[in-house]
Structures are given as C-alpha cells and as structure tokens.
Structure 1
C-alpha cells in the first residue's frame, strides 16, 4: 500500500506563494455545539461536483473568513492552493475555527471531542448541500490533528482523509497524531493518504516519522523531495518552506488528486 515518490524541485513549475484567492463562493455559518457556530467558505464550479474538498489549515487555524474567503493564513499550503480544486471541477470548503476560538486553536483542542463535533457539523452541512458528491478532509501541519481526530473517532464521517506534513512527533509537551490509536481505521475500505517532504525540517513532522506513522496504520504514503525555502531556519515549520511544499505545490496536489480518483500507481518523477 506504500507509495514513495521523489520529486526534484529544479525540474518543477512553481505555484506563486499567494495563488489566486477564492472569491466567488458563499460564506456559510453552521451551528455546531451549544451556542457555538462554525464558518465555512464554499466555492464550487457546479452543483454536483465529484468531490468536495474540506480544507483544514495549520497553526493557528483561524482564517477569519468573510464574503471573499480567507483573510488570514492565506499563505498556508492547503489554503493558498484552494483554487486548484475548483479549477479541476471539485468544490472546495475553507474551514475556519469555531466561534468560541475565534483567534485559533491549539493541538489539544484539535484532538478534543468538541473539535470532532464541529467537524461532524461541517461535513453534514456539506453533504446536505452536495448530496451526490464525495467528501475529502484535506489537511496540513497542525490541521492534520483536526482531521486525524475525526478519522480516529469515526472513519465513516468522510470518504477520504489526507494528512500532509502530519504532526507525528510531540514537541514541548504538545500532543501528536502518534497518541491516537486508529484501531477502527485499519481496513482497506477507509481511504487515508499521508504526504511528507523528505526535506521537511520541522521538528514535529519529519518524513521518517510520517512514513513510520503511515506504515504502522496501513495508510497510503507519498514522499516528495524539495528543499526550496529550507535556508531560513526560523521558517522550518512555516508555510514557505519544505514543510509547506514550497515550489512543488502543483505536483503534490496532482498526486493527491490522482489518489482521490483511485489511481493505484502514480508515476515516479525523477
């Protein structure tokens, strides 16, 4: 089930770090827990897309959505690449933090039952809006904690789960995905993809740990390679670094797209 793909950054096209924003969608506010709401910005090229891609950004998670989409965290890998999904015919949903955490959430909250309840409400609203579409929860960095939490608690909540630069190593007392059991997930009927960058310098998401995490849980795995942005030590866990797939966004998104479509043998790129 393992897939390992090495990509040389020198031969690849680069998506601009601030790709064209989403601006033709709808801002939706969803009631979740008692007195709590969740905002989601939804854009779709049709009323019946094949996939609805729900995006969960990294730290701090707060997008401060308005009628034009995300107003913060726009440089984050999954957020800056959102238009890719619309251009290929899928719907995209930018998932903000809940109203009781307007300025962001920490990893402990991301692994909580409350966070899972919020995710359930978001998916239910998307299924109501797109009843014939499949739902994929696509995340990066700390966002993988939110999606991993949903996967661990109920793998039937979505049709596919994607964890890019997954947080698999605890750091300074914070939890990680390694603390989750995923006992009910180890079945071929649940689709999970893990994507790591061999040059990721972030202490919480090294590729060797991402690979081991995928192997232990029998998840599909893609390993890419690009060192663009690696020179700034202060940005090792930032969006514009190997951790955020800087310079190889198009290829990583292509691998995820092919995997969602059911490709079992993506080509190596050398």
Structure 2
C-alpha cells in the first residue's frame, strides 16, 4: 500500500491546505474528464493525480451528497455543493498522496433534484463502473476506493453491491450515510436509503463513519451498525465520532448540510486521516 504520511503529519499538511482553500479553488481544481455513460449521456469528473510516492498508487472516487450535481466548471471546480464534506476534504486526500475523481451528475440528471432516485439504479452503478475503470487506467492505481457521503453513500453502496471485475471498487467508505427514508414524502425517491441495496453482496473492505451529534433525520448514526451487520466485507469498521464545534438550533434541512456535524465540521482532518489509515490496511 502507499507510503502514507503519519496521521499527525497528514493532518497538519491538510489543515494548512484547508486554510488556503479559497485561493486553491480559485485556480485549477483538476482535469475535467468526460465519459459516455447510460443512454449516450455524459458524465464528468474532476481528476487530480496522486503525488509522487514510492508505494503503489491509490485513487478515490468521491460521491457528494444532496442531488450530486456539482456543476463542475472548465477548471474542474464545483460551482455547487462546495460545502460538502468530501469537496472540502479534497486537499486532505491530496496531501496524503491519493489521486481523486470528484464525480458530477450525468447530463440527464442536472435539474433541481439531481440524481434523485437514479442513485439506486443499475444504470447508475454501471456509470460509476465506467468512472472506476477509467480512473484505474488513467491513474495507474493499484486500488480504487469508492467514498460516498450522505445521499452519495446510496450511490457508493449501489455500485459496490453490483459491480465486478476491473469496474468494481477495491474498497468502500460511507460517511453519514442515508439510513432513514421518508416513505410519505411528495417524491418517491426520498424514501430511498442504503438498506434498499443488496448490502450482502459487498465483500470488499468497508468503513462506515457517523457522528453522534448528527441531527439530520436521514442519517441517524445509531442506524449505521445495521450496515456492517449486512455487508460481508473482508475487513470492516464502524466509527462513531463525537465532539467538534457542533451547531445548535439547526433546522431539519440545515442539519443535513455539510457545514454541520453531519459533514464533520472542523473535524475534516481527523476523518480524512482515519480514512487514509483504513485504506492502508490499519484501523481508523
């Protein structure tokens, strides 16, 4: 596995990069790669190669939450969902020596609801398989991991449970996964959760991270243990964070946004370092 920096060194490097984040995002964020996906649609991702390292390369496919429509510009910078925890953590992963692919919504799911119910579809899993295969070849990575947060965890679990061969990920990370749906919602897709997927088919390493202070109705951390109870990962860990600044008085919608315990506010370096350790074969 890669010769990752120590957790403390990675955290310090990443913290400095986060502080300079606005300047970094104002420049080039990554190379925009556009693939042909389901039904002759187009799916783009922002690619950042791994820093030079003596060890094998590892790449991450990052799936944001919400509608998943990042509105990547020509410089690979997201014009939407910039507060998402995975978007904010990009400098942390790069400082640890990982390549990243930040995936936008396909061309036919860029309306107000974004990916909506498409997240759980076989076509979406196949689209992500194309991204994984392309990233594996482009980055020459020894391993490609899927990382999904909030509703992005539905996409990640969907792909991990359906794909096989070179298109399949080598590992799965779910952060603040959506585990509680609303079957009475005006739109049917709001009832979707990770439990609608064939979690038993997931046999790769699995890391699930939640926050004890997450007040989002769709991601109660107490439900996360039901995920690892069903997955058949060769290596699994369930992590429950606490602490951080919290945010009192959040509305039901605000509690599901990235800049809150749901998105590990001011704990990004800790979470990224833990993910890096797990990918490297150690405990979070």
Structure 1 residue 131: deviation in Å?
2.8
Aligned residues: CA RMSD: 2.3
CA distance in 2, matches of 1:155, 1:223: 30
Which residue of structure 1 lines up, in the alignment, with residue 8 of structure 2?
none
1:145 maps to 154
Q: Secondary structure at the match of 1:201?
A: coil
CA contact under 8 A between 1:17 and 1:246: conserved in structure 2?
Answer: no
Q: Deviations over 1:214-238 (max 9, x none)?
A: 2343542111113534313221111
Using the alignment, how far apart are the partners of 2:140 and 2:248 within structure 1?
46
User: Which segment drifts farther, 43-52 or 159-168?
Assistant: 43-52
Q: Identify which of structures 1 and 2 has the higher relative contact order when contacts are C-alpha pairs closer than 8 Å and 6+ apart.
A: 1
CA displacement 1:158-199 (0-9 Å, x = unmatched): 1111100011111235211112232222x4xx1111000011
Give the one of 192, 215, 220 matched to 2:237: 220
In structure 1, what is the Cα distance between the partners aligned to 2:197 and 2:50?
Answer: 36
Q: CA deviation at 1:81?
A: 0.9
Distance 2:195 2:140 in 1: 33
Pairs aligned (count): 250
Q: 1:24 to 1:170 in 2, by over 3 A?
A: closer
SS at match of 1:183: helix
Aligned partner (choices 274, 277, 280) of residue 255 of structure 1: 274
Per the normalisation by structure 2, the TM-score is: 0.81
Query: Residue 39 of structure 2 aligns with which residue?
Result: 34
Segments of structure 1 that go 5 or more residues without pairing to the other structure are 1-12
Alignment equivalent of 1:88, drawn from 93, 96, 103: 96
Q: Is 1:240–1:246's contact at 8 Å kept on the other side of the alignment?
A: yes
Q: CA deviation at 1:17?
A: 11
Shift of the alpha carbon at 1:114? 1.7
Question: Which range moved further: 200-209 or 40-49?
Answer: 40-49
Decide whether the 8 Å contact of 2:199 with 2:227 is kept in 1. Answer: no
Contact 1:229-1:240 at 8 Å conserved across structures = no
Post-superposition Cα deviations, 1:63-116, rounded to whole Å, max 9, x if no partner, equal: 111232212111100011111111121111110000111235344210011211
Aligned pairs for 1:33-182 within 5 A:
33-46=38-51, 50-68=57-75, 69-103=77-111, 105-154=114-163, 157-171=168-182, 172=185, 174-182=191-199
1:238 maps to which residue?
257
* TM-score in terms of structure 1 length: 0.85
Matched residues in 1 for 2:29 and 2:256: separation?
31
Which residue number corresponds to residue 205 of structure 2? 191
Per-residue deviation, residues 10-30 of structure 1 (Å, max 9, x unmatched): xxx895596643725211111
Higher fraction of helix: 2
